[in-house]
Amino acid sequence: MSAADFGFLANDNLPSREAIVTMCKTAGYKCRGIPIHIQPSGPIVAWIKYGPNVTMAEALTQDCVAKVLSANPAAGVQVPRVYMAFSIDNPTYPIGYIVMEHIDAPDCDEKDYELVAKAVQTLISVPGPNLVPGPVGGGCVTHTFFVEWTSAITYDTVEELQQHINGILRYMGDTRRVNLVADTSAGLRLCPCHINPGHFKKCRDGTVVALDFSVTCFLPPSFFAVAMAMAGDIFTRKVARHVNYPKSDDVGAMVSASYYLIPFGRNDIGQPGSFSFNLD
């Protein structure tokens, strides 16, 4: 499929997929990404993010958010548009590639928590394109609520996600229940979970660039509060103190449900039997 088939931004200066894969193999798989130059000493025309955890779902979500924010420059937050995304089978695991706009700016650091908080405040206001929990285009939910940060199944509706969390509580003898349907009365919202300073860039004009959407999808708003409540690193906690986000009465029960999964080491506990596993 072409970039237009996914709504990605066209860029006629890009090399072929085969050439991109070769470039990444040469660079190795320990770096975050590499630039694409038209000429060896020429300007950078794109940036490649690649690796075993890079997915089409991430690319589609990133590009969706980029389009929303580009329509509101006053927000002061930018996301690189995607030019191309694909995966290549590997003997051990597939390798994903996202080719995106290159934005020439330094990464944020540990001292930039207020600047990152400003970006996060904007990101969590981005509405979902529909009422299906998860990334754009469908797929498993990525959130720190789940063991290894990825749900075992896909949820077609908020009701199904609500049933699963209440099923966990019921299975563990916890009498609390959550109401995610009420929480989503105004729609789903973007939920960034992995708030690392290296996932943001700071431009000279004060604009912040959000880069990483691997653990980001559209969920009921309370899920952001859950992510902040479960955050163990100092930087995220500093960011959270400077973000105004809804704190639902369900957050305590949701955090408990997440912790209940840990001893089992899997995410299917309390899962309604009518759901089917995503075997990809």
CA distance 26 to 10: 25
Residue 280, domain member (yes or no): no
pLDDT of residue 209: 97
pLDDT of residue 277: 45
Alpha helices in the chain (DSSP H): 3-6, 17-27, 56-70, 113-123, 158-171, 180-183, 222-230, 234-240, 251-261
Give 279's pLDDT tier (boundaries 50, 70, 90): very low
What confidence tens digit (pLDDT) does each residue in 208-239 have? 999 999 999 999 999 999 999 999 999 999 99
Task: Specify the CATH number for the domain of residue 210.
Answer: 3.90.1200
pLDDT of residue 239: 98
pLDDT of residue 278: 44
pLDDT exceeds 80 at position 13: yes
What confidence tens digit (pLDDT) does each residue in 69-99 have? 999 888 899 999 999 999 998 878 899 999 9
pLDDT exceeds 80 at position 1: no
Task: Using CA atoms of 226, 239, 216, 5 in order, give the dihedral in degrees to the nearest 10.
Answer: 150
What is the number of domains present in the chain? 2
Residue 274, domain member (yes or no): no
Same domain, yes or no: 260 and 125: yes
Residue 41, domain member (yes or no): yes
CA distance 57 to 86: 10
What whole-number percentage of the chain has pLDDT above 90?
A: 87
Same domain, yes or no: 75 and 185: no
pLDDT exceeds 50 at position 276: no
Torsion region of 206: left, alpha or beta (phi above 0 gives left; psi -120 to 50 gives alpha): left
CA distance 148 to 115: 28
Residue 279, domain member (yes or no): no
CA distance 114 to 123: 14
Q: Is the CA virtual torsion 211, 223, 185, 130 positive or negative?
A: positive
Same domain, yes or no: 129 and 252: yes
| 142 contacts 150 by C-beta, under 8 angstroms | yes
Return the bridge partners of 217, or none.
191
Give 3's pLDDT tier (boundaries 50, 70, 90): low
Whole-number mean pLDDT of the chain? 93
Contacts of 26 (CB under 8 A, 6+ apart): none
pLDDT of residue 181: 97
Least confident piece of the model among 15-29, 78-92, 263-277: 263-277
pLDDT of residue 92: 82
Of the residues 45, 76, 100, the one at which a domain ends: 100
pLDDT of residue 5: 62
Residue 272, domain member (yes or no): no
CA distance 165 to 258: 8
Which one has a higher pLDDT value, 154 or 90?
Answer: 154
Contacts 24+ apart (CB under 8 A), 145-148: 145/223, 145/226, 145/227, 145/230, 145/254, 145/257, 145/258, 146/258, 146/261, 146/267, 147/261, 147/262, 147/264, 147/265, 147/266, 147/267
Same domain, yes or no: 254 and 153: yes
Q: DSSP code of 75? A: G
Which one has a higher pLDDT value, 27 or 93?
Answer: 27
Task: Specify the CATH number for the domain of residue 74.
Answer: 3.30.200
Same domain, yes or no: 176 and 52: no
Same domain, yes or no: 243 and 186: yes
Same domain, yes or no: 39 and 128: no
pLDDT of residue 12: 93
pLDDT exceeds 70 at position 49: yes
What confidence tens digit (pLDDT) does each residue in 92-150 have? 889 999 999 999 999 999 999 999 999 999 999 999 999 999 999 999 999 999 999 99
Residue 188, domain member (yes or no): yes
Domain that holds residue 252: 110-264
Residue 271, domain member (yes or no): no
Q: DSSP code of 134? A: B
Contacts of 203 (CB under 8 A, 6+ apart): 78, 103, 105, 209
CA atoms within 13 A on the CB side of 148: 10
Same domain, yes or no: 136 and 256: yes
Q: Is the CA virtual torsion 214, 69, 186, 132 positive or negative?
A: negative
